[in-house]
A and B are shown apart, each in its own frame.
Chain A
Amino acid sequence: MNLHIVVCVKQVPVSNNVKIDPVTKNLVRSSEPGVMNPFDQNAIEAALKLKHRYGGKVTLISMGPKNFEITLRQGLAMGCDDAILLSSRAFGGADTLATGYVLSQAIKALDKVHLVFFGRQSIDADTGQVGPIVAEFLDWPQVTYVSKITPLSEEIIEATRLMEHMEQTIEVKLPAIFTVRSELNEPRYPTPRNIQLSYQKTIETWDEHSMNLDLNRIGIKGSPTVVRKVWSPSKPKKMTQSLGRDVDHAVQQLLVILRSQNIL
C-alpha cells in the first residue's frame, strides 16, 4: 500500500520581535523573515519515516503569503515530494477555525489521503488548535501530543500521547490526524542535493477558487475569534548570572550571593 501523507506546516517569525496589526491584532506575517515552525519539522520526519517504510508520497500544505514558499522548499529539501501553498487575500486574518476549515477542504481536494501530520502547536500563536479542528472538519480520529509512533500494519498505528502527568498509548485506524511533539524524533537535515532540487520543483498555489469553499467561512469573515488586546508582558528579571571561569573566585561570589538571599 502506498501511503499518501499530508504534513501541514507553518512559517513562524525568526525572532520574538513580531509586529502586530493594530486593527486586527493579528501577527503581521509578511514583515519578518520566517522559519519553519520547529514542531512541524518533527511532523515531516514522522511522515518521511512512514513513507520510507510503506512507500507513497508526502505532500506539504501551508497557508499564508507568498513568502511562505521558502518554508515549503525547506520541507521539500528534507525529502517531501510535493508542496501546495494556500494563498489569497481572501484567506487573510483567518483564526484557527477558518484556517482549519480551509486546510480541511484542501485535504479533501487531494487524492485519497491516509494520514495528516501537524506539529503539536506553532511557536508564535501557541494554540495547538488547528490540527484538532481539521480532524473535526474531516470527521477523522485525532491523536494529539504524539511522542511515539509504532505502525502495527498499513492501516493501524499505535501512538503514544505524552501529556503533563501521563502517557496514553492508543491504536488508531487510518485515516487519522496526528499532532506531534519534539520527543517523537530528531528531524533530519535538508541535504544539499535536495535543497538544489527543491528549487527546481514547482510549488502549486491554491486560492479560494481552487477548492470547494464556503466563502463565508474563510478569512476574517469566517473567524469568530476577536482579539481585544495584545501586549508584551513585562520582561522578567534577569535569572542567570555568569560568575566567570576562575573557579575559586566564582565559588566565593556564589557564597556571597546565596548568603545575601538567605539561602545559606
Chain B
Amino acid sequence: MSIELKEHQQMLHQMVTDFAHKEVKPFDMVIDKQKSYPKSLWNKIINVGLLGLIVPVEHGGADFDAIAEAQTIYDIAQKNASVAFTLEGHYKTVDQLKKYGNKNLQDIYLPQANQRIFGFGSTEPQGGSNVMGHTANAVKEGDYWILNGNKTMITNGGLAEVYLVLLKTAPNELSCFLVDQDMPGFKFGKQEEFFGMRGTPVGEIFLENVRVTNDYLLGKVGQGVEIGDSAHYDARINMGAIAAGICQHALEIVIEYANQRKAIDKPIVELFSIQNKIAEIAIAKQNTQLLYEEAAKLKVQKKLYDKVATMAKSYGSRAAFSACDHALQVLGGYGYSTEYPVEHLLRDARALQIAEGSLEKMVIEISKAVERDRG
C-alpha cells in the first residue's frame, strides 16, 4: 500500500488478511471447480461484519472509508477474486444508498446491509451500457410507483436480496429505485454460467407490477444516469483493487514455483526469462495499486475521482490478465492444468475487462475526462 494506513485501518487490514488467509484461501479452488459461493464461507463473511464495512455506525455498520474499503477488497482478492467481486457488487450498491437514499429508506435498509447482500441492476437484455435504450420502467400511480421490466447481468444477481435498479420514468429519463426480493411481483430469472469469477453469481431479475412508495426512489426523478455513473466509478476503484489482488496472487504462485522448479540443477528463478516475467507481474501489481489507491484517496478527499477510478479499472484489468498470462507461462503445463490455480486466475482476470463498463467505453470516458480536466 502506498498510502499510509491509519492505525484503525491497519488493524482492519490485519484482521481481513488473517480472515482471508484462514477462511477464504481454502475455498479458492473449490469455488472455481464447483462454480459456487459456499454458504458456510458467506455466513462467516456476514458474521464477521464485512458486509457492513461502509455502513454508517449509527446504522450498525463500521463506517470505514474508501481507502479501507479498497484495501479490504485487495486483501480478499489475493486469496479469491470472485469473493472480492461479490463484496464489490455489494459495496457499490450500499454506497449509492448512502449517497442518494432518503432518510426513511436509509433507516430501513442500511441496517439490513450488514446482513443481506445487495446488488445493482442497470443492464437489460436489449441494451448494455446504452441505458437510454432500456425498456424497464416505473409509472407513478397516486402515491405509488409501479415497476415493470427485467434487468440482467447483475453482479450478485440471485444471491443478493436487495437491488437498486435503473428504470425509465419518461422516454429519455432514468430513475433509480430500491427493490427487495420479498416484494410481491419480484422474481429471479436465469443465472449466467461464466468463464471465470465463478464464485460471483450473475443473474437476472424480473419486476411485475412491483408497487413501492416514493421513499423507494433514490435521489430525484431523472437522477438515474447520475446514480448509475456514480456506482460505476465507485466500483471501478475496487475493480482496480481486485486486479492488483489477482496480480499478487499470481506473483506468490510464480515465486514459490520458480524457486522450487529446477532446470539443469538450478532453480528456474535464476533464469533471466523467468525473472523478466516476475518483474512484469510485480510492475503490473504496483502500477494498478498506485492507481486505485489514488482514486480511493481522491474519493476520501471529496475530489473528482471518476477519471483515476476508470484508469484503475482500465489499466488494472489488462495488467492483471497479462500478469496471469506470464504466470501461466512460467508454470508451463502446470499453469495450463486445472489442478493448479493459475488458469482460473487468468479466467477471473478476464472478467475485469468487461464488468463495470467495457475497455472500449473506458477509452471514451478517460479521454473525455482528460479534456474536461484540461479546462
Q: Is A203 an interface residue (CB 8 A)?
A: no
Residues A192 and B12 in contact in the complex (CB < 8 Å), given A70-B7, A197-B57 = yes
Enumerate 17 A-B pairs (CB-CB under 8 Å) in ascending A order.
A70-B11, A74-B11, A77-B15, A189-B18, A189-B48, A191-B15, A192-B50, A192-B53, A192-B62, A193-B62, A195-B15, A196-B8, A196-B57, A244-B262, A245-B257, A245-B261, A245-B334
In chain A between 226 and 264, which residues have their CB closer than 8 angstroms to a CB of chain B? Answer: 242, 244-245
Is the CB of B185 closer than 8 A to any CB of chain A?
Answer: no
Which B residues touch A120, using CB under 8 A?
none
Q: How far is the CB of A70 from chain B (nearest CB, A)?
A: 7
Which residue of the partner chain, among A70, A191, A197, contacts B48 with CB atoms under 8 Å? A191
Count of A-B residue pairs with CB < 8 Å: 57
For A249, give the chain B residue with the smallest CB separation. Answer: B262
Q: Which 6 A-B pairs have the closest CB atoms?
A: A192-B62, A191-B49, A193-B62, A199-B8, A196-B62, A244-B260
Name the A residues within 8 Å of B49 (CB-CB). Answer: 191-194
Interface size on A, residues (CB 8 A): 18
Contact with A244, one of B57, B62, B63, B261 (Cβ below 8 angstroms): B261
Q: How far in angstroms is the closest Cβ of chain B from A160? A: 26
Contact check, B15 vs A189: say whether CB atoms are below 8 A apart: yes
For window 53-79 of A, CB contacts with B under 8 Å fall at: 70, 73-74, 77
CA A18 to CA B139, docked complex, whole Å: 69
Residues in B with CB closer than 8 Å to A193 are 49, 52, 57, 60-62
- Over the window 243-261 of chain B, the binary record of Cβ atoms lying under 8 Å from chain A Cβ atoms (1 yes, 0 no) is 0000000000000010011
In this complex, what residue of A is CB-closest to B16? A192
Q: Does B19 contact A (CB under 8 A)?
A: yes
Instruction: Judge if B64 is at the interface, Cβ distance under 8 Å.
Output: yes
Q: Return chain B residues, CB-CB under 8 Å to A242.
A: 260
A205 to B225, CA, bound (A): 53
B64 touches A196 (CB 8 A): yes
A190 adjacent to chain B (CB < 8 Å) = yes
Pair A192/B52 contact, Cβ less than 8 Å = yes
Q: How far is the CB of B119 from chain A (nearest CB, A)?
A: 21
CA distance A94 to B19 in the complex (A): 36
The CA-CA distance from A70 to B6 in the complex, in Å, is 12
Please classify the interface of chain A as helix (H, G, I), strand (E, B), loop, or mixed, using the class held by over half of its residues: helix
| Cα–Cα distance between A199 and B68 once the two chains are bound (Å) | 15
Q: Specify the chain A residue showing the minimal Cβ separation from B7.
A: A70
Q: How many residues of B contact A (CB 8 A)?
A: 23
Taking the closest CB of chain A, its distance from the CB of B40, in whole angstroms, is: 15
Using Cβ atoms and an 8 Å threshold, which residues of chain A touch B63? 196
| A189 and B49 alpha carbons, distance in the complex (Å) | 10
The answer on a CB contact under 8 Å between A190 and B257 is no
Residues of chain A contacted by B52 (CB below 8 angstroms): 192-193
Residue of chain B at shortest CB distance from A35: B14
Which chain B residues in 58-80 approach chain A with CB under 8 Å? Answer: 60-64
Q: Indicate the member of A73, A74, A191, A196 with the most B CB atoms within 10 Å.
A: A196
A194→B60 CA distance, assembly (Å) = 10
Q: Which residues of A contact B15 (CB under 8 A)?
A: 77, 189-192, 195
CB under 8 Å from chain B, chain A span 162-215: 189-199
Task: Indicate the member of A73, A74, A191, A194 with the most B CB atoms within 10 Å.
Answer: A191
Give residues 318-349 of B contacting A (CB, 8 Å): 334
Give the residues in chain A near B260, CB-CB below 8 Å: 242, 244-245
A199→B57 CA distance, assembly (Å): 13
Q: How far is A67 from B69 in the complex, measured between Cα atoms in Å?
A: 26
A111-147 to B contact mask, C-beta < 8 Å, 1/0: 0000000000000000000000000000000000000
Compute how far the CA of A248 lies from the CA of B62 in the bound complex, rounded to whole angstroms: 52
Residues of A within 8 A of B257 (CB): 245
Asked if A190 and B11 make an inter-chain contact with CB atoms under 8 angstroms apart, the answer reads yes
**CB-defined contacts of B48 to chain A, threshold 8 Å:** 189, 191-192
A118 and B8 CA atoms in complex are apart in Å by: 25
Q: Which residues of A contact B334 (CB under 8 A)?
A: 245
Instruction: Determine the distance from Cα of A70 to Cα of B260 in the docked complex, in whole angstroms.
Output: 39
Cβ distance A187 to chain B, nearest Cβ, rounded Å: 10
Contact with A along B268-299 (1 / 0, CB 8 A): 00000000000000000000000000000000
Q: Which of B1-30 contact A (CB under 8 A)?
A: 7-8, 11-12, 15, 18-19
- The closest CB in chain B to the CB of A188 belongs to B48
Look across to chain A and name the residue whose beta carbon is closest to the beta carbon of B52.
A193
Smallest beta-carbon distance A198→chain B, Å: 8
Residues of A within 8 A of B50 (CB): 192
Smallest beta-carbon distance A202→chain B, Å:
15
Inter-chain CA distance A191–B60, complex, in Å, is 12
Nearest CB on A from B28, distance (A): 17
- B263 CB → nearest A CB, Å: 11
Give chain A nearest CB distance to B265 CB in angstroms.
Answer: 12
Residue of B nearest to A78 (CB): B15
Distance, CA A147 to CA B17, complexed state (A)? 27
**Residues in B neighbouring A74, C-beta threshold 8 A:** 11
- Taking CB atoms, residues of chain B closer than 8 Å to A199 are 7-8
Smallest CB separation, B42 vs chain A (Å)? 15
Bound complex: CA of A193 vs CA of B59, how far in Å?
A: 11
Instruction: Write the nearest CB–CB distance from A37 to chain B, whole angstroms.
Output: 15
**Closest CB-CB distance, A155 to chain B, in whole Å?**
32
